[in-house]
Amino acid sequence: MIIDFQSAVELIKKGDVIAFPTETVYGLGADANNILAIKKTYELKGRPSDNPLIVHVSSVSQAEDITRNLPESFYKLAESFWPGPLTLIVEKNPSVPDIVTGGLSTVAVRMPNHPLALKLITQSGPLTAPSANKSGKPSPTKPEHIWQDYGDVLPVLDGGSTTIGLESTILDLTSELPEILRPGAISNIELSEALGEKIRPFQEKKFNEPKPVKSPGTKYTHYKPDAEVKWIRKIPKSLEIKALYIVHSQKKLPNAKNLISYGGNFKALAKDLYDIFRSADHQQYEKIYIEELPEQQKDTMISALNNRISKACNE
């Protein structure tokens, strides 16, 4: 159900969980100091409790309150990219409840670039917020997606469609070299330029690789529509009727209602991807074929798209 801004603030203060917009995807917000509200978040989402939450702040001083020993790199990056789609992993302040961080000694912090989110957090204090989907489903990029997962009972602060469409870049500042744990709209090139030092780019972990997982959420099933998602090298001559095709080429294409071309506009594809996944299920497509993305383009969304689509294929 859509709620107005004042009710959103009141519900959060009362210990309720509400969905709110950010520039990446909708989040399922709760007061970051209220253990019961955070418990409710895990239950609602059906999320395993060892998968920690991002704390959303509206100022650097709020970030300082929940962390300790912040490195200089933190301040440089906050200055360059906040508010924006960048989550920073830093040492947590012992006052942060363990349920927020799944028992880790670090905490994920981000300042979202959305006027409603910033205003909400300023009035309610820091908010824990996973993406507002049920665990395993694609993240919501519009209020309808939240109703698909929860029915109309969950309070939603409506901000229309989100502009980026894929979750934030996660950068770990606690390892020797800053390391990207999840690719997003802010690229490793931008990050290392702002820092003036090298960073470890995102390493796509091989399926079943026995390495310890740094970002616990990355080991769980994600972003998955019911339809089977598959990469294709090129567009086949004849299309399967029960399959949806997402392609990038700008060449002349067969005119078919189950073929969507993004003509190389990867930002637009990122914005729509989860909506396409969800509407494909709604239209009962059995498969979604996606043309492989070009390599070696400076387009910052390519790595994030590759990551989310591969996860939707694999698991």
Site residues (CB under 6 A) for ligand TXA? 22, 24-25, 27, 51-54, 87, 89, 101, 104, 106-108, 110, 112, 129-131, 167-168, 170, 181, 214-218
Nearer to ligand TXA, 107 or 156 (CB): 107
Whole-Å CA distances, 37 to 11, 74, 96, 130, 265 = 10, 28, 14, 13, 40
**Least distance (Å) between residue 93 CB and ligand TXA:** 13
Residue whose CB is nearest to Mg ion in the complex, by number: 131
- List, edge to edge, every strand of the sheet that includes 287-291: 228-232, 287-291, 243-247, 259-261
The dihedral region occupied by 125, where left means phi > 0, alpha psi between -120 and 50, and beta the remainder, is left
Nearer to ligand TXA, 240 or 315 (CB): 315
Would you count residue 131 as binding Mg ion (CB under 5 A)? yes
**Phi and psi at residue 73, to the nearest 5°:** -60, -35
Residue whose CB is nearest to ligand TXA in the complex, by number: 217
**Least distance (Å) between residue 286 CB and ligand TXA:** 27
Whole-Å CA distances, 14 to 17, 99, 124, 154, 158 = 9, 19, 10, 15, 20
- Residue 215 binding result from Mg ion, ligand TXA, none, given CB thresholds of 5 to 8 Å by partner type: ligand TXA
- Residue 51 binding result from Mg ion, ligand TXA, none, given CB thresholds of 5 to 8 Å by partner type: ligand TXA
**Least distance (Å) between residue 179 CB and Mg ion:** 19
Nearer to ligand TXA, 210 or 212 (CB): 212
Stretch that binds Mg ion, among 125-133, 145-153, 204-212, 272-280 (CB under 5 A): 125-133
Nearer to Mg ion, 131 or 258 (CB): 131
What 3-state class would DSSP assign to 240?
coil
Positive/negative CA dihedral, 41, 45, 51, 55: negative
Q: What gap in Å lies between CA 74 and CA 70, rounded to an integer?
A: 6
Q: What gap in Å lies between CA 180 and CA 191, rounded to an integer?
A: 10
Strand partners, 43: none
- Residue 22 binding result from ligand TXA, Mg ion, none, given CB thresholds of 5 to 8 Å by partner type: ligand TXA
Nearer to Mg ion, 131 or 174 (CB): 131
- Residue 113 binding result from Mg ion, ligand TXA, none, given CB thresholds of 5 to 8 Å by partner type: none
In b/e form, how buried is each residue of 124-138, taking b as 16+ CB within 10 angstroms? bbbbbbbbbbbbebb
Give the interface with Mg ion as residue ranges (CB under 5 A). Answer: 131
